[in-house]
Copies of this chain bind each other. A is one copy, B any other.
Amino acid sequence: MNIGEIAKRAGVSRSTVSYVLSGKRPVSDGTRQKIQRVIDELGYQPNASARALANGRTNTIGLVFPPAGNHYTGMQLDFIGNVVEAAAAQDYDVLLSPSGMDSDRSFQRLLGERRVDGAILMELRLQDDRFDHLNSVGLPSVAIGRTAHPENGWWVGLDHTALAEACVHHLADLGHRTIAFVNRPEQLLRAGYESAHRGLEGFTKAAAERGVTSRTYCCGDDASSGQACLERILHDEPATTALVTLNEAALGGLYRGLAKAGRHVPRDFSVTGVVASRWAETVTPQLTAADVPAEQMGRLAVDLLVERLDHPDAPARHHLLAPPISLRASTGPASTGPASTG
Q: Which residues of A contact B (CB under 8 A)?
A: 43, 45-53, 58, 60, 67-68, 71-72, 74, 77-78, 80-82, 84-85, 88, 91, 93-98, 105-106, 108-110, 112-115, 222-224, 251-253, 255-256, 259, 278, 281-284, 286
A85 to B106, CA, bound (A): 10
Which chain B residue lies CB-closest to A260? Answer: B284
On chain B, the residues within 8 Å of A58 by CB distance are 49
Report whether A72 and B68 are in contact in the complex, using a CB–CB cutoff of 8 Å: no
Within the complex, the shortest CB–CB distance from A110 to chain B, in Å, comes to 7
- Check B97 against A68 for contact (C-beta < 8 Å): no
Q: How far is it, in angstroms, between the C-alpha of A249 and the C-alpha of B253 when the chains are bound?
A: 18
Within the oligomer, what is the number of copies of this chain? 2
Question: B68 near A77 (CB under 8 angstroms)?
Answer: no
The smallest beta-carbon distance between A45 and chain B, in angstroms, is 3
Alpha-carbon distance A253/B280, docked complex (angstroms): 12
17 A-B residue pairs with CB within 8 Å: A43-B112, A48-B114, A49-B114, A49-B115, A72-B78, A72-B81, A77-B81, A80-B80, A91-B109, A93-B109, A96-B96, A223-B286, A252-B281, A252-B282, A252-B284, A253-B282, A255-B284
Tell me, rounded to whole Å, the shortest Cβ–Cβ distance linking A213 to chain B.
28
**In the bound complex, how far is the Cα of B190 from the Cα of A96, in angstroms?**
32
Pair A95/B93 contact, Cβ less than 8 Å:
yes
Q: Chain A contact residues: over half helix, strand or loop, or mixed?
A: helix
Asked whether A113 lies within 8 Å of B68 as measured between CB atoms, the reply is: no
In the bound complex, residues from chain B placing their C-beta under 8 Å from that of A286 are 223
Q: How far is the CA of A52 from the CA of B71 in the complex (A)?
A: 33
Name the CB-closest residue of B to A60: B95
Is there contact, CB below 8 Å, between A94 and B93? Answer: no
A256 touches B284 (CB 8 A): yes
Asked whether B282 lies within 8 Å of A45 as measured between CB atoms, the reply is: no
Within the assembled complex, what's the spacing in Å between the Cα atoms of A251 and B252? 13
A251 contact set on B, CB distance < 8 A:
282
What 6 A-B pairs have minimum CB-CB distances, sorted nearest first?
A45-B112, A252-B282, A77-B77, A48-B113, A49-B52, A256-B284
**8 other contacts beyond A48-B115, A49-B50, with CB at 8 A cut-off?**
A43-B112, A49-B52, A49-B115, A50-B53, A68-B81, A81-B98, A88-B97, A88-B98
* Distance between Cα atoms of A251 and B94 in the complex (Å): 31
Chain B residues whose C-beta falls within 8 Å of the C-beta of A78 in the assembled complex: 72, 77
- Whether A105 touches B77, Cβ cut-off 8 Å, given contacts A115-B48, A259-B284, A284-B255, is no
Task: For residue A23, give the distance in angstroms from its CB to the closest CB of chain B.
Answer: 17
Contacts of A282 in B (CB 8 A): 223, 251-253, 282
B278 contacts A222, CB within 8 Å? Answer: yes
